[in-house]
Each structure stands twice: as C-alpha cells, then as structure tokens.
Amino acid sequence: MINRRTLTKSLGAALAVSAVSGTATADSGRRRYLVRDGGAVVTVDPVLGVLPRADVLIDDGRIVAVGPDLPARGAQVVDATDMIVMPGFVNTHHHMWSALGRNFVADGFPYFAAKRATSTLYTDVDVYRSVLLGLAELANAGVTTVHNWSNNTRTPAHADAELRAHRDGFLRARFSYGHVDQMPRDVPMSFTDVDRVRQQYFADGAFGLVHLGVALRGLSQSTEPAFFADMDAAVGRGLPVAIHAGQAPPRIVDAADYERRGWLGPSTLLCHYVTALDSDMEIVARTGTGFSWSPHSEFRLGTSGDPRSALLRFRRAGVPVSLSSDATSIAPSDVFETMRLVWNTGIPWTGTPTADLPEVGFRDVLEMATLNGARALGLGSVTGSITVGKRADVILVRTNDINLAPGGLIETTLVQATTAANVDTVFSDGRIIKRGGRLVHDVGRIVRDARASSLRIRREAGGILTP
C-alpha cells in the first residue's frame, strides 16, 4: 500500500493537498519520466501500431520518444515490466453533474424518472462533489480525457463549481455548458453566462486542461424555434456544439438540413443518432462531424430496434465512432466494459441488412476508445495515441493480475479481460495521477462528500428515493 506521504515523496514533491477541497493538486512542473520496458506498447498510432517491447520517454508533459532501450539520463524511471502501455481513454459524452446519482434508478423508476425527481435539487456544492467524484472514477479506470456534457447548468455558481472540480480533477476535458434541466421547451437557452464563463476562464483559449463548448437540447427537448435560436447563438460564437441526436423515433436530426444550415463539421458532435438513415450517416462522414456512441444507453433507452444495426452502418459509411458512457445511472465509467460490450454486440445479424457488414474487431474498439474520441473532441493532434509530439496521456495496465493471467494476445487482453482494477499507473498531461493502483486524490474525502450530497438529495426528493 502506498500512503500519501510516500507517494508525494516518490514524485519529488510534485503533489500538494488543497485545504479547501481535500483533494491532491499537482504543481505546475512536469517531470521527465522514462516508462521502461513495457511488456507491450499499444500506441494506437497508425504507423507504430503495437510494439512488442518498448520504452516511452516523457518530458515536460510531452511524449518525446518511443522505442526500445531509450536513454534514461535525467529521467525518473517508471518500471513497466509485465504491463501494457497504452494511451489514456477518451470518453466523449458524460453527464458528470449527476455522477453521485448513479444508484437513484430502480425497477419501475428508470433514468428519466429519477432525473426529473432530482435534477432541480442539486446545489453548486453538490455538482462540485459530483463532478469531482466522476473525475476520480474516470482517472481510476484509465480515462484521461472526458467530455463533460453539463446539461443541468442551473446557475452561474453551478458552472463555477463544475470548473473548480475540473481544476482539482487533473483530467483533460471539454466542459460543454448546457441548459437548465426541465426548462420550458419553447424558451431558448441563455448565453449570458456562457459569455461570462468564456471571458473569465477561457480568455486564453483553455482553462488548464479544459476547453469550452456548448451542449444544446436539440429537438428532443426543445421546440424548433428555440433550438434554431440556440444553434445560431452557439455557432455565432464559434463554440464547439454537442447535440443529443435521438435514440428513438421520430428521427429528429436531418443531416442534410443541418449541412445546408452550416451546422455540421468538426466543431459539431452528435451523440446516439440511433435513428439515422444511411443518407444521414454518409453526410456525417463526409462533413467530418464528430460522433459519440454510448452502447449501454443505446440498448437500454433506445426503442427504435437493435442498435447494433446503426453502429455497423455508421462504420460502413466511414464515420469514426467514438465511445462514451452517458450517465452513470445508465452505464459505468469503465471504458474496458464499454469496449467489451461494443465488441460483443458489433456483429452482423443474419437475415437483416447488416448480414454482409464487417464485424467490429478488437483493434477497432481500442481505436474508438482512444484516437477516435480525441478526434471527435478536436484533440486528435493532442492526445489519443502514443505518438511523439503529443501530450503524455498514458496508462499502464498490469498483466500479472489473476483476471489477465496467463497472458496472450495484447489487444484481445485489453478488450476481453481487463477492468479498471488492472490500471496501475495513469499519466495525465505528463503528471502521474495514479501509481501502484492508487489515485493521488483524497478518495475517502471525495466519497464522504458525495454520500452527504446524495443523501440530502434523496431525502428532499422523497418517494422511492427516501433513505
């Protein structure tokens, strides 16, 4: 067991404890590390591929060399013997404000009922605790980049609280400022506080590792005039836009119409879109529009048929699929499980239009979970692969744990057998935030605070949620 004092010393005093939040905070310096003798390096780089044995040299948060027997002069050596080295995962759609409500659902009381009963009860303190809980859970599972789809930004204080959590959570992220949950469908979203947040936190383009976007309701939660006003406001500000594109009939996104209006392209991210026609998929591919697939959610909440068909057709159209978890009350934040579900369900179905389509392979889902996600968030040149020049978002997976023994094919091992418990070390932008299986966060404090907020919300909601 590595205690906080030992870990802090071992990282050269690179960590301190925040008296305000009780979480670990990294200082501004990034060290020189040599990840030595990985059992394999799964680079997800189109040129490098999988290296049977290699080192990764990290300096000032950047990957500066990848290859065998790299010199270690001036570097702290991180022993990767019997480990798989790979890029950190990218989760492209995660409603982090509700992470502490993961267990609010019940039989006869599904996701949307639980959200309606509780979303108005979250204070700014609650969302800080919830987002920090979510960030710690993601880091623990090897996620180094997340799209925080903040679709319940109730007040300016709520937005500030989420950004404070990002400051204390160490992960690369897009913070997509969203609407107030349960606001009237015919009322456009106010951008007054979006402008304030942009000026206060993002005047130089980024807030630490976080960049700004906007999450819009789309036609599933707003009238056409309100949605069009929201889109015009977001596009006019040049902000990346994220939209729920629907999991059930009717088809609410007409890609051809969106393209005519200038709404599609690399700055737009569509999520779900289970109802897409083949023609919609071709337009998404041609315009380079980002696409996020939440497999647990598509199966649980989708009512337009087997979502496997949509996934295979998106791939046929040439759309780079990225992966996401949606809300924690629908799916876990463990990307290993997400990959496993996509691999197991990504097969053609005899007697359907998918019968002759190629199945999803191990390498495919690894790319979906890393490089495709980075590209969907406009970060393809920054993260998503172990490539010289990119930022050092890197994770190490132990292969001598009981559930991975006795070893075998590397990509198969990662998809078929690995869990968050096997993640030994996590680098986020060149800083170690997990080492020896232990996070630098004050996990006990995070859990206690989240429990307190969860209990208060449940009591105020009453009914089935009453503890």
Q: Give the DSSP per-residue string, 151-167.
A: TT--SHHHHHHHHHHHH
CA atoms of 311 and 299, how far apart (whole Å): 11
CA atoms of 273 and 252, how far apart (whole Å): 9
Nearest 10 degrees: Cα torsion 44, 49, 53, 59: -50
- 3-state DSSP assignment of residue 335: helix
DSSP assignment, residue 391? B
Tell me what pLDDT residue 5 has. Answer: 32
**pLDDT higher than threshold 50 for residue 25:** no
Question: Average pLDDT for residues 272-297, to the nearest whole number?
Answer: 97
CA atoms of 371 and 383, how far apart (whole Å): 7
Tell me what pLDDT residue 353 has. Answer: 85
CA atoms of 343 and 414, how far apart (whole Å): 12
> Any long-range contacts for 454-462 (C-beta under 8 Å, 24+ apart)?
454/100, 454/101, 456/121, 456/126, 457/100, 457/101, 457/118, 457/121, 457/122, 457/126, 458/104, 458/118, 460/121, 461/117, 461/118, 461/121
Q: At 303, which amino acid appears?
A: T
**pLDDT higher than threshold 60 for residue 400:** yes
Place of tokens 């590209």: 375
pTM of the model: 0.93
Q: What are the tens digits of pLDDT across the range 38-79?
A: 789 999 999 999 999 999 999 999 999 999 999 989 999 999
**pLDDT higher than threshold 50 for residue 460:** yes
Non-local CB neighbours of 174 within 8 Å, separated by 6+ positions: 146, 147, 148, 210, 211, 212, 213, 240, 377
Share of the chain above pLDDT 90, in %: 87
**pLDDT higher than threshold 50 for residue 18:** no
Q: What are the tens digits of pLDDT across the range 305-329?
A: 689 999 999 999 999 999 999 998 8
Domain 31-87+390-412 in CATH 3.30.1490.20? The answer is: no
CA atoms of 462 and 457, how far apart (whole Å): 9
Question: Average pLDDT for residues 217-222, to the nearest whole number?
Answer: 93
Tell me what pLDDT residue 119 has. Answer: 97
Q: How confident is the model at residue 240 (pLDDT cuts 50, 70, 90)?
A: very high
CA atoms of 35 and 57, how far apart (whole Å): 6
Query: Which tokens go with 432?
Result: 């170690």
Q: What angle do the packed helices 156-169 and 192-201 form, to 10 degrees?
A: 30
Non-local CB neighbours of 32 within 8 Å, separated by 6+ positions: 57, 58, 59, 60, 74, 75, 76
Burial of 82 (0-12, 13-18, 19+ CB in 10 A): middle
CB 162 within 8 A of CB 148: yes
Distances (CA, A) of 465 to 103, 115, 332: 10, 12, 20
Identify which of 142, 52, 60, 134 has the alpha carbon closest to the alpha carbon of residue 369. Answer: 142
83: part of which helix (H) or strand (E)? strand 83-87
208: left (phi over 0), alpha (psi -120 to 50) or beta: left
CA atoms of 351 and 222, how far apart (whole Å): 38
- 3-state DSSP assignment of residue 16: strand
Q: At 368, which amino acid appears?
A: M
In degrees and rounded to multiples of 5, residue 24 shows phi and psi of: -70, 145
Chain-wide mean pLDDT for the chain?
Answer: 92
Q: How confident is the model at residue 302 (pLDDT cuts 50, 70, 90)?
A: confident
Tell me what pLDDT residue 421 has. Answer: 97
Query: Which tokens go with 298?
Result: 């598509």
Tell me what pLDDT residue 331 has. Answer: 87
Tell me what pLDDT residue 444 has. Answer: 98
Query: Which tokens go with 358?
Result: 């190629």
Tell me what pLDDT residue 238 has. Answer: 97
Q: CA 216: distance to chain centroid?
A: 18
